[in-house]
Structure 1
């Protein structure tokens, strides 16, 4: 039996633990995860739902095409806006925007009140509160980091809470798109005048 290498067909993590052996590949991968994603990875996480009801509820959470997203997209489409759905604004950024206007360089995010900690509607979890508080804090930090990276790349980021009115949100997007187009046209004109 091999205690040192997980690729070996006889390797068993349970045997490694029961015999108290140190397994460097496992330790290395854990250290790599902590280095890459931060120390929050070291927090013990539940491996499965606490109850069947919780499991079904979590499975029902959609990653895209939620009702608020669809309402916002319908309202934006009704205003004549055309966009890409659920794509990365930047290829090297691990972030998917809900709506992307590539020419205008505008990324729109519809943040869920629960997942992103809405100041009006977010409630603290009664079960496993420490884990969820850390999860929400990391979500907000990641949102801020993505906003910063996109802004540095010349993108405009617009964020809405899921409870906001989709029609007024779509109008705000349309205003930003118009402003971005006018700005791009003005830059093109000033660039052509400067080259004369």
Structure 2
């Protein structure tokens, strides 16, 4: 994401918000999405306490209180903000269980998933490679368990891996090892000066 010179946060963010709205307003109530969530053992927002049933805040208000200002009663109520639900935990769970496939991503996040979720998926796939390289199965599983109720039921090796993805991860991993040795900035190895900067 941030290390990709082609990445434009101002183009990405509206697409991500579109994915959030689709996930909250439609996908979480779809039977197929609910089946995948049950299999990979992650609660959907409507199953949380308190539940999130859509992308807009809908607090219980029996009667709207008048809004006062120095000029008297204000007739228009304040704007209700949109709910923020991070999609990253859901993408992480799909990646490590091998369910980050196009039909599933489209079903969960809608038509804008390539632009809105694609960059997060790329980063999380790389993070999964890093986790596997830096620790054994037990430590990787602990990293991806969310709670005792939402522990990851199984881990699958990364699916549909392309050579360019492995090479990019290797370059980023080398940059991270250099960071651990403080080989950054003026001390960075020549091969990395214009290269990757981790995730």
**TM-score normalised over the length of structure 2:** 0.26
Mark the structure with the bigger radius of gyration: 1
Q: If each structure's strand is expressed as a fraction of its own residues, which one has the higher value? A: 1
